[in-house]
Amino acid sequence: MNDTLGDSTQASASTLLVTGADAAYFPLMLELVLSIRQHPQGKDQPIGVIDAGLTEEQKDILAGQNCLVRKFENQTPRIEKAIAKRKALTVNLGKLWLDVIFPEYDLLVFLDADTWVQDWTAISYLVGAAAEGALAVVGSWHRYRDSLPVRWYLGLVPVYRSFNFKAAYHAHLPLSVIKTMSRCPDLNAGVYALQRTAPHWQRMRAWQDVILKKGRPFTSDGLAMALVCGVDGLALQRMPVFCNYTEQPVYDDRQKLFRDSFYPHAPVGIIHLAAQKAVRFDPAATLTYYNLAGEEHRINPRYNPKTFRIG
């Protein structure tokens, strides 16, 4: 693709792109894998998959795409308890153990199953940032937020309720930690990159264990990452939003791709369908998008080489 933000940094054989899913999410995850393979840089890129309940047929399909499928087995008692209640949490909790599940790779890039790669620049940026020793992840404090989540008590006292604040509160973390986290940027754990030797892994798992005592397993990954950077002070690279795009893009009907809604309308790198429940389970469902001229298009934002130009 010619219309990209340039960066010469590329993933390599020592870099593993990792995702994961159960049988229900397999179709979405397969689309992610196919989107990676569609790029010249992704044709031979190693891909790892965390098996959260895949069928044998699904694992055979992934093997045909040269994916390395592994189970998350080195679990703590609290993780085992959480997964026993909800097996789909395997990937959420396992994403903080990538260096243990795939120890033979030097750098790990995690992608949620409901993402797909439109522009390889995003992968290059994630790899480049992580290669500097930082946790490379997209925060939620950016120009797409028009207001702050504030709750007024008694109509007089404003309380800022960020994701970090709420998650830390529900986990019954110390008040000093809750206060610190209320000032720290929320991090979207759906896409991130980190070197295998980075000190973040051990600290993320330590915080994960603390959170799981009383907190919510589903949000423990993002909170653990934020704690490692906000409380422990480990290196953080806050990536451009196009590296994990959960916003409403504009559709370039001439180039057949999604673009950022703000100028200069760069191509979106990684599409994340986190808020699009309808299309996650229905490949025929469509949503409304507009091009730069304001013209309406009804399309499905899931990966489809007939709808989007890749590579």
Q: Give me the CATH number covering residue 194.
A: 3.90.550.10
Q: Name, in order, each residue with C-beta under 8 angstroms of 73's C-beta and a sequence gap of 6 or more.
A: none
Same domain, 56 and 130: yes
In-domain check, residue 228: yes
What is the average per-residue pLDDT within 91-120? 98
Q: Please indicate whether residue 226 or residue 1 has the higher confidence score (pLDDT).
A: 226
Q: What pLDDT does 35 receive? A: 98
Q: What pLDDT does 2 receive? A: 40
What's the sign of the alpha-carbon dihedral 80, 81, 87, 92? negative
Residue 172, pLDDT > 80, answer: yes
Domain count, the chain: 3
Q: How does the average pLDDT of the chain come out, rounded?
A: 91
pLDDT in tens, 144-161: 665 566 676 676 666 666
Same domain, 175 and 284: no
Q: Lowest-confidence range among 196-205, 223-232, 275-284?
A: 275-284
Q: What pLDDT does 218 receive? A: 85
Residue 207, pLDDT > 90, answer: yes
Same domain, 61 and 119: yes
In-domain check, residue 283: yes
What is the domain range of residue 156?
A: 150-182
In-domain check, residue 161: yes
Q: Which residue has the tokens 């892994």?
A: 201
Strand 115-117 with 270-272, pairing:
antiparallel
Same domain, 81 and 172: no
Same domain, 220 and 279: no
Same domain, 70 and 99: yes
Same domain, 80 and 227: yes
Same domain, 80 and 162: no
Q: What span, in angstroms and rounded, lies between the C-alpha atoms of 298 and 212?
A: 41
What is the average per-residue pLDDT within 192-204? 98
Could you tell me which residues are beta bridge partners of residue 257? 252
In-domain check, residue 9: no
Of 30-44, 78-92, 183-197, highest mean pLDDT: 30-44
- Fill in the DSSP letter of residue 260: -
Q: What pLDDT does 311 receive? A: 67
Q: What pLDDT does 168 receive? A: 86
The DSSP string of 85-124 is H-TTHHHHHHGGGHHHHSTT-SEEEEE-TTEEES-THHHH
Strand 135-139 with 236-238, pairing:
parallel
Q: What pLDDT does 142 receive? A: 67
Same domain, 165 and 192: no
What is the average per-residue pLDDT within 128-138? 98
In-domain check, residue 306: no
Q: What pLDDT does 5 receive? A: 41
Provide the total of helices (H) and of strands (E) in the chain, helices listed first.
11, 15
Of 10-14, 46-50, 228-232, 272-276, highest mean pLDDT: 46-50
pLDDT class for 123, splitting at 50, 70, 90?
Answer: very high
Same domain, 190 and 284: no
Same domain, 214 and 169: no
Q: Lowest-confidence range among 6-10, 122-126, 264-268?
A: 6-10
Residue 165, pLDDT > 90, answer: no
238-274 burial string, b = 16+ CB within 10 Å, else e?
A: bbbbbbbbbbebbbbeeeebbbbbeeeebbbbbbbbe
Q: What pLDDT does 161 receive? A: 66
In-domain check, residue 10: no
pLDDT class for 265, splitting at 50, 70, 90?
Answer: very high
Residue 49, pLDDT > 90, answer: yes
Same domain, 222 and 113: yes
In-domain check, residue 166: yes
What is the average per-residue pLDDT within 223-240? 96
Q: What pLDDT does 140 receive? A: 81
Residue 13, pLDDT > 90, answer: no
pLDDT in tens, 234-262: 999 999 999 999 999 999 999 999 999 99
Q: How many CB atoms lie within 10 A of CB 163?
A: 18
In-domain check, residue 7: no
